[in-house]
Structure 1
Amino acid sequence: MSHDKQVALVTGGNRGIGYELTKQLALNGFKVILTSRDPKNGHEAAQKLKQSNLDVSFVMMDVVNQESIHQAAFTINEKYGRLDVLINNAGVYLDENEKLLDMDPSILEKTMATNFFGAYHVIRSFIPLMEKQGYGRIINVSSEYGAMSEMSYQGVGAYKLSKLALNGLTRLAAAEIKGDIKINAVDPGWVSTDMGGPSAPRTPKQAAESILWLATIGPEGPNGGFFRDRKQIPW
């Protein structure tokens, strides 16, 4: 591998855990691409980090729009010619406390579109950039709500199913990828963000630190695992 700076991409990087991940990766010497579906918020977030002399740039990408993903992949290939780390962080939490079979099906469809298909299309579009150099680290920001044991309890059904599917995708992709490319899923815990709410016990910084180590694991590191605080947890 050349000694150029490694390039990392974070989806949904304009706030919460994604913003913190972007910041921490940049502090750790990465050239970071912050993506967001909202150009104004994404641009502002990137500018704020740039003011601290961090190597962050903004690329518009809406993970529910395949054309938008392809355009971003094309832009990044043209500009950097490589991608070393991909963090699928963009996610939605649309469930009210209602039963899966009673809710408006569009809630499940929208949740799957972002949390599952979004990650799927992003991985498919960016893996060729990793294969080009035989190296890559992919981290899917999942949730303990995606653990199979959680399916025995009602509530938050759309979100749970989307993360269960994301976890399955993580394992299937890990079984398929070749070379020194690794893909893992992470449960960041309950974090005080717009999604987690103010009473959550963990800060975005704590969550980011538990995810960052997977961005820099060596060739002997895990592949196809599910982690919380650097410890493997059951699927």
Structure 2
Amino acid sequence: MSLILVTGASGGLGLAAATALADAGHDVVLHARNASRVRDSSRMREVLYADLADLKETVALAQRANRIGRFDAVIHNAGVLNGPDVFAVNVVAPYVLTALLTPPGRSIVLSSSMHMAGSGDLGSVNLSGAGNRGAYEDSKLYVTALAMALADRRPDALAHAVDPGWVPTRMGGRAAPDSLEEGHRTQEWLATADETKISPRSGGYWYHRQRRQPHRAAHDPHFQRELLDKLAAHTGIAFPAGTA
């Protein structure tokens, strides 16, 4: 059985994935913003709290997680749709956790079909969140590129991005047409399946266990390098240590 960290798992897709993985016998560490958001953690190995919009709290989360041990998989599920914290939660936090955690065997980030509308021009991006148009779409392009960059830089591990679909969660709204059940199955599969059953082994962009082509910038090494440089400058943390 695997040791798995799921961020943003107090509700919605994160909680559904964490619960299903725990029910399957895996040791799941659930992350939530604060204790008031967690109703029942009885099936989880541990619960860690941090506001991923806060860089110091994200660094502290990585440190606490490292004391638990090396994770077999990390599912970067936490995300926000709008507001000043979009880049901090959707991009900066996965970057910081990836850079500071003991390298896990697998990293899965949640993307979105909306990343296809993201801009491949990083010239005017403000990662502090102020004054950005199309921030959600851009953030999902950036985190998709982050997964693809990680696949290149850590070839012994697995890294993938998942479009869970437009599902009826608090973020997606009640009218969302996609299946909540299917929305979390792909990330569970990528976190636990036999590597020989996943093709490509690393660097895939998935929707309901079907590989799709992401925005062309996601696989562009120049775009990846510029993005990583901006994230390193913004956080003061190199990524990934020793392999960039």
Question: What's the TM-score, normalizing by structure 1?
Answer: 0.78
Deviation (angstroms), 1:203 = 3.7
Residue among 130, 133, 151 paired with 1:174 = 151
Which deviates the most, 211-220 or 161-170?
211-220
Are the equivalent residues in 2 in contact too, given 1:69–1:125 (CA < 8 A)? no
Deviation (angstroms), 1:210 = 2.4
Secondary structure of the 1:159 match is helix
Partner of 1:210: 186
1:19 and 2:15 correspond:
yes
Mapping of residues 1-235 of structure 1, within 5 Å: 5-42=1-38, 44-46=39-41, 50=42, 54-78=43-67, 80-94=68-82, 107=83, 110-126=85-101, 128-130=102-104, 136-147=105-116, 157-179=134-156, 181-220=157-196, 221=198, 222-235=201-214
Task: For residues 38-59 of structure 1, give each alpha carbon's deviation from its aligned partner in whole angstroms, at most 9, with x where no partner exists.
Answer: 22213x242xxx1xxx244211
Which deviates the most, 55-64 or 31-40?
55-64
Distance of aligned partners of 1:55 and 1:114 in 2 relative to their CA distance in 1, 3 Å threshold: closer
Which deviates the most, 109-118 or 167-176?
109-118
Partner of 2:128: none
Mapped to 2, the partners of 1:69 and 1:219 lie a distance apart of 29
Mapped to 2, the partners of 1:110 and 1:13 lie a distance apart of 17
Mapped to 2, the partners of 1:234 and 1:176 lie a distance apart of 20
Mapped to 2, the partners of 1:210 and 1:178 lie a distance apart of 21
Segments of 4+ moved more than 4 angstroms: none
What amino acid does structure 2 have at the position aligned with 1:193? T
Partner of 2:125: none
Mapped to 1, the partners of 2:34 and 2:100 lie a distance apart of 20
Identity between Structure 1 and Structure 2 (%): 30
What amino acid does structure 1 have at the position aligned with 2:202? N
Task: For residues 28-75 of structure 1, give each alpha carbon's deviation from its aligned partner in whole angstroms, at most 9, with x where no partner exists.
Answer: 211111101122213x242xxx1xxx2442111222223323322332
Secondary structure of the 1:170 match is helix
Mapped to 1, the partners of 2:119 and 2:61 lie a distance apart of 35
Mapped to 1, the partners of 2:91 and 2:160 lie a distance apart of 14
What is the number of residues matched between the two proteins? 199
Are the equivalent residues in 2 in contact too, given 1:15–1:45 (CA < 8 A)? no
Task: Name stretches of at least 5 consecutive residues in structure 1 with no aligned partner.
Answer: 95-106, 131-135
Deviation (angstroms), 1:151 = 5.6
Task: Name stretches of at least 5 consecutive residues in structure 2 with no aligned partner.
Answer: 121-132, 215-244
Mapped to 1, the partners of 2:97 and 2:31 lie a distance apart of 11
Secondary structure of the 1:139 match is strand
Are the equivalent residues in 1 in contact too, given 2:77–2:110 (CA < 8 A)? yes
Are the equivalent residues in 2 in contact too, given 1:6–1:31 (CA < 8 A)? yes
Secondary structure of the 1:147 match is helix
Secondary structure of the 2:85 match is helix
What amino acid does structure 2 have at the position aligned with 1:217? A
What amino acid does structure 2 have at the position aligned with 1:10? V
Are the equivalent residues in 2 in contact too, given 1:63–1:122 (CA < 8 A)? no
Deviation (angstroms), 1:123 = 1.3
Which deviates the most, 204-213 or 66-75?
66-75
Secondary structure of the 2:18 match is helix
Deviation (angstroms), 1:114 = 1.1
What amino acid does structure 2 have at the position aligned with 1:6? S
